[in-house]
Structure 1
């Protein structure tokens, strides 16, 4: 109940963002009668006592949201009956967030879901609940501590390391890192099309404390040394910065190579194995003719990767996807569905790599292909991570490519703008959620599956 110089005194229901969703003025409702008391009832109504009478006010907002409350009540009842039904935790959390975006309930539900999933050994779903809880409270260590208590008694050492790193990022306490991590070897990593090598440098800087041996495991390459060749005399300062960056990378243990063609890496590195191969933004803004000529590059790149990798090794590809529906076109242009599936790779992660407001690697500069100009198209860069399987498709098969998916690692759909039931893979794109975890650069333990 309140009064202002713009609204009559009376009974008003106001949301947290200041919107009045119900109002009844004294003049219209109670005339000149004096209000003696107000009392909230159990169903959200308000009892108004005045002049020896009681009026019950039931705001319209409750009747409008009755379905939401009924759904929440039903889901809670179902969850009490079967706490192992993991879908109920997500459904209930979604309903709470729709009803009250700042409610504490979704966070607690995700923690409860994490425990239920871990107890049933469903660590894929447990990881999803863990990520969602951390999204709600990114500065809270409770999800890390809870998840660690379950993971530490499993064989999933890679997942345990990931949680330790998340915890360290929050606390900055050295004791939160296991003693063996700093001396641990890192997976061999081949970086393609590095351009100005700002990603290589940023990657090493970001993981300096947690992965000091990462630099020794990296081979960073470029095809044409475009930046060294095209920086003009009036850009001499930038050229010196780039030259110094390359020298510094070499001195700290990175192997820097030029003349490496992404389609022929199996020839350049014949006989070697790379557990991780990464290509960021393989083709920037250019002409339609150039984009058309590029369409076979990603499929050939995957085929070449497959000759340097064993099952469970990974390929990372980052795409600038702009906004609206362009992300679909971008995937089709680069043929990542066709390229990955026909080489026997399945999608296991999709991460946000950077937006105009937030970058995973702040010192990394994405530039247009064959230029030194920054790519300023806006939108979001997404990192797609693929895992090599022991399956190779004999033909371009939509049905068989869908069967490559491992639902314990990533759930996704392969779709197309083509209305046919089995569209050609060249016209397909991945549709899936975005993961919040980040890479583990340490060498794997034997027998580790997750």
Structure 2
């Protein structure tokens, strides 16, 4: 009961508009004090600070800010728009690929939704795309930021559960690729059935060679990250540091990051890292209090009494409910004990549990009435959210197929 009370306290404080990090710290500290374990607070915070993968947090944020302020975050979209122009649905496909490129450099699905919503949706509107296809393709594409390395959600899961970050990055690769393939297939099916939904637009007069040269940073950075980790050449922190260094050298060499922009990169990265580390500290206290209360063990027993698919469906329902009041990181933190319980009861392990939970968070980000990414895209593009939600149903079917495959074949993660 104490574990449930701690969860409820976090939800109430967040609903009252208290900052997430402070809500977690207060709820966790008070819960540990009531359980007579207040003396563990310094030990838990020190264990978090000593985690070898903790440096991944500021490095991912630095990489994302360099890419954003240096103008690299949207280059893959721009290049794909040139290469795919003249094809039905080409701009929608470019939006999805652009979101994948943005995710590979920023690790944030919400930031991706905001940025690509401002750029890609108006471009599709000018090409007379169906607003449902324009808005939903960006909203669904932005969810790749939750699953594609170096996603911040993957890093949070690894730090909070003690799972090696390298395993989380590599485990997420195939599910992310399947999700991307499903999104592309949905666009192709949509424009085949409705020829007017995605006209074959001719908008950009840019040489194809120039477009390809402009797009190379995102796939190269992803190759450095996953290749270095996959072949055992680099640790995740070293790979992220190398990626950030390459991106910084490119931005400085091209003159895209000078003076005020460089100061903005440093200021934003430091502020975001401080907020994230405070949230991690609070999450560590909350999860420790829940563990001492016996809640995770009880959840594992209950999950073991259910078929795996039913347990995952209940976890998904919890994510949808949490999505009505919480941001993606908080959804993951609050649902983490439930996901671990399912993985422990049915055997796939913590990597699979984390990938499935993050996939469920992705789905919660696009479900009406308050799917965060859908609302962010609609706000950024200045269109009605109903248009975005109306198109997302087609993509949701493929997302659920990927989730079902993960449940039936855990080795995919």
TM bracket (short chain): under 0.3
Q: TM-score, normalised by structure 2?
A: 0.25
Higher strand share: 1
Q: TM-score, normalised by structure 1?
A: 0.23
Q: Which of 1 and 2 has greater Rg?
A: 1
Higher helix share: 2
Higher relative contact order (CA 8 A, sep 6+): 2
